[in-house]
Amino acid sequence: MPLNPPIRDWRGRRVWLLGASSGIGAALAHALARQGAHLALSARRAEALDAVAQACAPAEVMTLALDVRDAAAVAAAEQAIVARWGGYDVVVLLAGHYQPRTVDEFELAAAREVLAVNIDGAYHLLAAVLPRLLAAGTGALVLVSSVAGYRGLPRSLVYGPSKAALNNLAEALHLELHARGIGVTLVNPGFVRTPLTAGNPFPMPALIEPEEAAERIVAGLARGAFEIHFPKRFTGVLKALALLPASLYLPLVRWLTR
């Protein structure tokens, strides 16, 4: 049985994508536009958003430039969407910040920047949309996280824990919202070619393009899945590793990433 109401028909469905100016967010916007969704696109860079919106024509698209670290800006964007459409059906949080850091490179200010986007941004969104979703008794929340949240990894002192928190949050939300008619989906990608991963100084196994990531997300939502993870030739290995006790996991990961 699906854990969420399957979403198979996107025609006329009102979708708010946060983090839509590039990478997976832009690719998902293009994919949903082709299927007839109405799109509200948010990100910090207004010019990049406008370019994505133009590429989504002739779909109905509105752009709302904002920084998810600004709770008031997120709330104002939510109000603008309601003023135009009367509400929304699917909210997808793709906005995220990534900085690979070792213990030698740790800086508190940089850590707080990652946490402000990846964790505070999620709660700013929830504060804006939960009351309306609960009142409607329908809709869907999609949180895009990362397989880096499964277990601890090298060079991931801040990013990994922030994604682990998002994974936990998605499960907590699902447990409370399922009976209220609201779907909650967690997306855990592996390595995707995006501006955030372009600076990685290490090989990225099973690297895929944003368009493939968008296809996997759309397919997972059509199944009513709770967790959508890809590519499975990579994420399946990480899921298996995550089941190991620390006595096996830590030495093995030290050896694999030496």
Residues classed as catalytic: 159
- Which residues does residue 186 pair with via DSSP β-bridges, in sequence order? 143, 227
- Rounded to whole angstroms, the Cα distance separating 195 from 255 reads 28
Contacts of 29 (CB under 8 A, 6+ apart): 17, 20, 39, 41, 52, 53, 56, 61
Q: Which residue has the tokens 């393009």?
A: 209
Q: Which residue has the tokens 């800006």?
A: 73
Q: In what order do the strands lie in the sheet with 61-65?
A: 61-65, 38-43, 14-18, 90-93, 140-144, 183-189, 227-230
Reading the block at residue 128, the tokens are 């804006």
Q: Are 49 and 124 in contact (CB under 8 A)?
A: no
